[in-house]
């Protein structure tokens, strides 16, 4: 799926999410973290589902597949209550905000590196808004080329930063600025100190010349690269 389609998907998702925000009467600053959290959860569920299928045949009566098997492959372990399908199938009248908060806590419990990191303020959104947001995130196609979820997340982050004004963009470096940094420093060798601009975005941008395959980025292939990020 090409770049044009990716852009169309980003625009469609943003327009729908922003319309839901307007109807909910929430400010962007109150709405952004829960929405970005759901994009994260959808991506985590996508990665978990793919590996779950791969690991399915490796479980035996003596050894069951568990969290460590997923984490060894760089995938967060998701308990049943944190699966996207579980949240989508909640019965009518269920407190969805409470259920998503519980899902985030369950993920933190199973993945200690995320403890006290994930958003747990979903009870501030009403059931109708959360239901539509879950359906919206579930509509993200799984066959988009490249780091689709990363680009959608970045697109939403930029939109929220603009809508929140200067304060909303304090921790967001626009992609055009990162591209300028990459073009100037050509980060293919040596030692890079990256205190603010975001290593993931730089890796993605330098991977453009590799047909969007960030795993083939020279930054990752070069064993002489010493990358320091905070």
Question: 57 and 89 in contact (C-beta within 8 Å)?
Answer: no
Residue 12 pLDDT: 85
pLDDT tens for each residue of 66-76: 899 999 998 99
Q: Dihedral, CA atoms, 119, 125, 131, 134, nearest 10 degrees?
A: -30
N-to-C CA span, the chain: 33
* Distance, CA of 217 to CA of 230 (rounded, Å): 20
Query: Counting beta carbons within 10 angstroms of the beta carbon of residue 34, is it exposed (0 to 12), middle (13 to 18) or buried (19 or more)?
Result: buried
Question: 163 and 137 in contact (C-beta within 8 Å)?
Answer: no
Residue 75: other Cβ atoms inside 10 A: 21
Mean pLDDT over the full length of the chain: 76
Taking each continuous run of H as one helix and of E as one strand, the counts in the chain are 10, 2
Residue with the larger pLDDT of the pair 104 and 27: 104
- The closest of 134, 153, 164, 136 to 204, measured between CA atoms, is 153
DSSP 193: E
What the chain holds in terms of domains, given with CATH numbers, is 3-166 (1.20.1260.30), 175-229 (no CATH)
Residue 226 pLDDT: 45
pTM of the full predicted structure?
Answer: 0.70
The encoded tokens of residue 128 equal 């109708």
Q: What is the rounded average pLDDT of the residues 6-34?
A: 81
> Could you tell me the CA-to-CA distances from 99 to 86, 90, 94, 145, 220 in Å, in that order?
10, 9, 8, 32, 38
- Which of the four pLDDT bands, split at 50, 70 and 90, describes residue 3? very low
* Distance, CA of 195 to CA of 205 (rounded, Å): 18
Question: 132 and 123 in contact (C-beta within 8 Å)?
Answer: no
| Residue 225: HSE in the Cβ half-sphere, 13 Å Cα cutoff | 18
Residue 99 pLDDT: 97
């Amino acid at each position: 799926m090409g770049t044009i389609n990716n852009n169309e998907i980003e625009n469609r998702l943003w327009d729908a999410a922003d319309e839901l925000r307007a109807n909910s009467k929430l400010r962007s600053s109150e709405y952004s973290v829960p929405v970005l959290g759901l994009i994260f959860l959808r991506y985590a569920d996508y990665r978990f589902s793919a590996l779950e299928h791969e690991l399915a045949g490796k479980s035996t009566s003596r050894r069951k597949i568990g969290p460590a098997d997923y984490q060894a492959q760089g995938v967060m372990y998701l308990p049943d209550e944190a699966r996207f399908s579980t949240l989508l199938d909640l019965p009518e009248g269920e407190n969805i905000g409470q259920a998503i908060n519980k899902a985030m806590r369950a993920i933190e419990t199973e993945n200690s590196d995320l403890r006290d990191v994930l958003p747990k303020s979903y009870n501030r959104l009403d059931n109708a808004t959360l239901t539509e947001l879950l359906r919206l995130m579930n509509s993200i196609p799984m066959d988009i080329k490249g780091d689709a979820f990363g680009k959608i997340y970045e697109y939403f982050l930029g939109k929220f930063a603009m809508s929140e004004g200067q304060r909303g963009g304090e921790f967001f470096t626009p992609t055009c600025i990162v591209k300028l940094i990459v073009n100037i420093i050509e980060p293919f060798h040596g030692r890079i100190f990256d205190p603010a601009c975001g290593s993931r975005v730089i890796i993605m941008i330098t991977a453009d010349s590799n047909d969007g395959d960030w795993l083939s980025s020279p930054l990752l292939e070069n064993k002489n690269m010493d990358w320091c990020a905070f």
